[in-house]
């Protein structure tokens, strides 16, 4: 990893907004998912929440990847557990909904810890989710249509949140991530091949230096350089030493 790339990733992490997120209630079209997560990354969101029925979560894991793997996706089996978790972290829940109690989305204070709830493409947010929300928000329309595409609506709201947070200095607070998570993101972003090998060989990520260099001892490098066949043989040898045969 070059020092320039290290600095670029570090700068990105320094502006992450851990207390701003979106929660997608069964938004299922891949292009919408990708567009929303891409916008989330653009405004500094670190984690997006997605609600899918428990029997379909395993099918969705392949598509639940952040924009260029920079955004973490947290999966939930039902909307109640998702909102319970978000409220437990102190977030206000904003549901996009056209109703009598809805307010203009620009009237909300997005500098507070905030989760924006977006509903399924065809049916929108469920009554259960609406009942759990703290506020209902709406994007004003003056044309014939009454709603925007879910990814477009997400972008409009998120950039209002970004505008308010920028004015409030929320992007100047420094990296909010724990050191271990920050190091992992830097390593995966700067050394994707080594990161994949670490996962395959169940090896811990090494620490990185101030310029993004790998700080690892000779043992780590030796294990990293083993071929898959050599690594498998070493693992078998280790197992044999841990569980010696009783045969003579």
The ranges assigned to domains in the chain are 17-172, 179-242
Q: What share of the chain is helix, strand, coil (3-state, %, to 5)?
A: 50, 15, 35
CATH topology of domain 17-172: Alpha/beta knot (3.40.1280)
Sheet holding 92-96, edge to edge: 72-76, 47-51, 20-25, 114-118, 92-96, 135-138, 103-104
Residue 63 has pLDDT above 70, yes or no: no
pLDDT band at 64 (very low <50, low <70, confident <90, very high): very low
10-37 pLDDT per residue, tens: 999 999 999 999 999 988 888 889 999 9
Q: What is the dihedral of CA 103, 108, 114, 116, to 10 degrees?
A: 30
Residue 69 has pLDDT above 80, yes or no: no
Query: Cβ of 197: how many Cβ atoms within 10 Å?
Result: 17
Residue 21, annotated ligand binder?
A: no
90-133 pLDDT per residue, tens: 999 999 987 778 899 999 999 999 999 998 777 788 899 999 99
Residue 39, annotated ligand binder?
A: no
Is 74:46 a contact under the CB 8 Å cutoff?
Answer: no
Residue 57 has pLDDT above 60, yes or no: no
Range 188-195, long-range pairs (CB < 8 A, 24+ positions): 188/69, 189/1, 189/5, 189/9, 189/69, 189/70, 190/1, 190/5, 190/6, 190/9, 191/1, 194/224
Is 140:148 a contact under the CB 8 Å cutoff?
Answer: no
Is 49:74 a contact under the CB 8 Å cutoff?
Answer: yes
Residue 84, annotated ligand binder?
A: no
Residue 238 has pLDDT above 90, yes or no: no
Distance, in Å, from the CA atom of 219 to the CA atom of 136, rounded to the nearest integer, reads 56
């Amino acid at each position: 990893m070059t020092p320039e790339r290290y600095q670029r990733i570090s700068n990105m992490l320094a502006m992450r907004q851990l207390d701003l997120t979106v929660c997608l209630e069964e938004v299922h079209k891949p292009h919408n998912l990708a567009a929303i997560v891409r916008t989330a990354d653009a405004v500094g969101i670190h984690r997006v929440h997605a609600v899918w029925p428990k029997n379909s979560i395993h099918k969705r894991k392949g598509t639940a990847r952040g924009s260029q793997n920079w955004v973490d996706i947290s999966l939930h089996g039902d909307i109640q557990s998702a909102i319970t978790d978000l409220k437990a972290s102190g977030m206000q829940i904003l549901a996009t909904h056209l109703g009598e109690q809805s307010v203009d989305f620009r009237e909300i204070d997005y500098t507070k810890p905030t989760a924006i709830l977006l509903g399924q493409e065809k049916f929108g947010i469920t009554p259960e989710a609406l009942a759990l929300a703290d506020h209902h928000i709406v994007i004003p329309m003056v044309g014939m249509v009454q709603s925007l595409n879910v990814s477009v609506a997400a972008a409009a709201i998120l950039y209002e949140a970004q505008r308010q947070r920028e004015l409030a200095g929320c992007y100047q607070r420094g990296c909010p991530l724990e050191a271990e998570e920050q190091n992992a993101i830097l390593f995966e972003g700067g050394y994707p091949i080594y990161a994949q090998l670490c996962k395959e060989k169940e090896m811990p990520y090494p620490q990185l230096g101030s310029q993004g260099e790998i700080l690892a001892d000779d043992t780590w490098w030796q294990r990293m350089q083993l071929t898959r066949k050599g690594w498998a043989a070493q693992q078998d040898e280790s197992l044999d030493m841990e569980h010696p045969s009783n045969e003579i």
